[in-house]
Amino acid sequence: MESKAKLFGHAIHPILIVFPLGLLTTSVIFDIVYLLTANSVWAIVSFWMIVAGVIGGLAAGLFGSIDYLAIPDGTRAKRVGLRHGLLNVIVLILFGISWLLRAGTPEAPPATAVAVSVLAVVLAAVAGWLGGELVERLGVGVDPGANLNAPSSLSQPELKAPTASPRPT
């Protein structure tokens, strides 16, 4: 199933998810460094990474929702996509809670804020696996002409590979 939200021939959702995933995961790593060093710079950077990660997650989620709505009802892909999306919403809510818990003192986040962030990253890993299942096992967001010798997505439409290409053996 081809993505419905594309830019220069590529699905937008997987382009955008790398930013919130990287920012939010790194915020937890910086929280751990803060806890080990007591250097408040790490906690402050983590605070702002959460802000940027949540904003990026909302943008990625918008384009993911467009693709989700195009998945046919009654399919395994629709069920997996729903779980993937709901888990990511929970992840963003948990990071929002973590941010609120540390908003008064970003230089010294309470242990609860860090624990909520750690839980959110664990759930993000599960949601990411489900996203991989959608693409790699169920073919969601994959161009119908995809193959090992497909032309560039920037090539002229008449030069694109046929939609049914034999797979190399």
Q: How does pLDDT run across 66-96, given as a tens digit for each residue?
A: 999 999 999 999 999 999 999 999 999 999 9
pLDDT at 167: 53
pLDDT-derived band of residue 160, with 50, 70 and 90 as boundaries?
A: very low
Q: pTM to 2 decimals?
A: 0.85
Q: What angle do CA 53, 58, 59 make, to 5 degrees?
A: 100
Percent of the chain with pLDDT over 90: 71
pLDDT at 97: 98
Least confident of 8-17, 72-81, 85-94, 97-106: 8-17
pLDDT at 41: 98
pLDDT at 48: 98
CA gap 46, 51 in Å, rounded: 9
What torsion do the CA atoms of 69, 75, 78, 83 make, to the nearest 10 degrees?
170
Domain spans of the chain, in order of start: 6-159
What's the average model confidence in pLDDT over 10-32?
94
